[in-house]
Amino acid sequence: MLGDCSFRVTILFLTVILLSLGINAQDAIRIGSVRGVDVRILVAVPPFCPDTADLTPVATEMAQVFAYDLDFSGLFILLPREQYPMGFVGLERDVNAINFDAWRATKAEFLVYGFVKREGNQYVCQFRLIDLVSKSQVVGKEVRVEVSHPRLAPHRFSEEVIAYVDGIPGIGTSQICFNGIVGGKKEIFISDYDGANLKQITEHGSISIKPKFSPDGTKIAYLSYKDRYSFLYIYDRLTGRVTPLSKEVGLNASPAWFPDSRRLAMTLSKDANMEIYIKDIDGKNPVRVTKNQYGDSSPTISPDGTKMAFVSDRGGSPQIYVMGVDGSDVRRVSYQGGNSYDPVWSPDGKMIAYVVEQKGEGFEIYVMNADGSEPRRLTNSYGSNESPTWSPDSRHIMFCSNRNGSWELWTVNVKTGEERKVPNINIESQGPSWGPRASKDAK
């Protein structure tokens, strides 16, 4: 099924993209490395059909959210409204009333149909992905969400549509956490991956930074000076409780979760220089991993929990190294020149994203294979681009950048190089961490 879809897409929609697009960085979307051929799928996402007139704003917003998810994936291109069939005024309740011939004449391969009604405190949404070539439904789903979370419905369906096309679900239901500046202080915030539903989760009135989502999405580890010194804490999303993770003498930094969400690696300086330790989630059972006179920091754990990438200056400058989680088989993997920082392992285990500082070029985001091969630069802003974090599907990297004069969150598509500013966030933001997709029973 997927092979047939890719074949039709290749035949119907191959077009050459001009190398110079003339898009300004302020427009929030920028192509960094352009495809030679555009193989994205042309899809129509008209406003969804509401059961009653008062639901029109909700149905319209749901379609907009769904369209953003598809466009963001890098797999689709949206059919412009001016290219809809002549005389089209909206979707009808009866899906059989669709004029397939008129939609096929637009050259779109797929049409997304949505119907939205309300039952008590829930929206009940019927979504369909219709193949205009075969005039048949290829993906269909009824989604129920609380009326307080209407955006969750299209996010859920978009994940399934993307999985149908590419084999890997999208990331519509995923969330991000980061530190934002409010009232001159830095606090931890959480939002949807597209910046919507922004919520402040700490009120320490201090400096709280570098949050890290646990793999199961239930907890967030972060560094805070709320108790005067740089200690590590864990925020429990289910209870709202904050508990200490590490309050050793000296630096406590760089928490990195193991896949089981029960242990973390971290950087401690209690041994007179920076070393990497592993502790249980309650701060107990510390195990020292690195033991040398050099500075070792910024651990990140491979998805299978067997390896650790980290930063060390043992070779004379900060570079990325990989070793077993027990400290064995240490080897350097960054060789592209300049200094290397902030490694983070992709969820599929195939790549490591990191930051490179080179003279005259600022800090830029790079990616390499997990064995250190094929390093390549993803950003070209000549500013500071820091704190990379991977999307759950390993298609995107989020990072913070000051390219526009203040700290903002941006994303880059690893395959295409397309860069986007994260919308809907109106505060200075740094240190993002991309969490997992929402569980199926999430509201």
Query: How is the chain split among helix, strand and coil, in percent rounded to 5?
Result: 15, 40, 45
Is the overall model pTM greater than 0.75, yes or no? yes
- Look at residue 26 and tell me whether its pLDDT is greater than 60: no
pLDDT of residue 272: 87
What is the rounded distance in angstroms from the CA atom of residue 374 to the CA atom of residue 365?
A: 14
pLDDT of residue 28: 47
Burial class from Cβ neighbours inside 10 Å (0-12, 13-18, 19+) for residue 189 reads: buried
Is there a contact between 390 and 353 (Cβ–Cβ < 8 Å)? yes
Both tokens assigned to 117: 């009604």
| Stretch 295-320: mean pLDDT | 97
- Look at residue 16 and tell me whether its pLDDT is greater than 80: no
The HSE-up count of residue 46 (CA atoms within 13 Å, CB side) is 20
Secondary structure tally for the chain: helices H, strands E: 4, 33
**Domain locations in the chain?**
2-166, 175-434
pLDDT of residue 9: 35
DSSP assignment of 10-77: HHHH-EEPPS-----GGGSEEESS--SEE-PEEEE-PPPEESSGGGHHHHHHHHHHHHHHHHHHTSEE
Is there a contact between 121 and 147 (Cβ–Cβ < 8 Å)? yes
| Stretch 215-232: mean pLDDT | 97
Q: What is the pLDDT of residues 129-152, one digit of tens each?
A: 999 999 999 999 999 999 999 999
Both tokens assigned to 306: 């067997």
153: three-class secondary structure by DSSP: helix
| Stretch 409-435: mean pLDDT | 97
Report the percent of the chain where pLDDT is more than 70: 91
CATH of 2-166, one of 3.30.930.10, 3.40.50.10070, 3.40.190.10, 3.40.50.150: 3.40.50.10070
pLDDT of residue 442: 57
| Stretch 154-163: mean pLDDT | 98
Helix (H) or strand (E) holding 155: helix 152-166
pLDDT of residue 270: 94
| Stretch 230-249: mean pLDDT | 97
250: three-class secondary structure by DSSP: coil
- Look at residue 8 and tell me whether its pLDDT is greater than 60: no
Instruction: Specify whether domain 175-434 bears CATH 2.120.10.30.
Output: yes
Q: What is the pLDDT of residues 392-409, one digit of tens each?
A: 999 999 999 999 999 999
Mean pLDDT of the chain: 91
The set of residues, in sequence order, having a beta carbon less than 8 Å from that of 195 and lying 6+ positions away, is: 409, 422, 423, 424, 425
- Side chain identity at 244, as an amino acid letter? P
| Stretch 68-94: mean pLDDT | 95
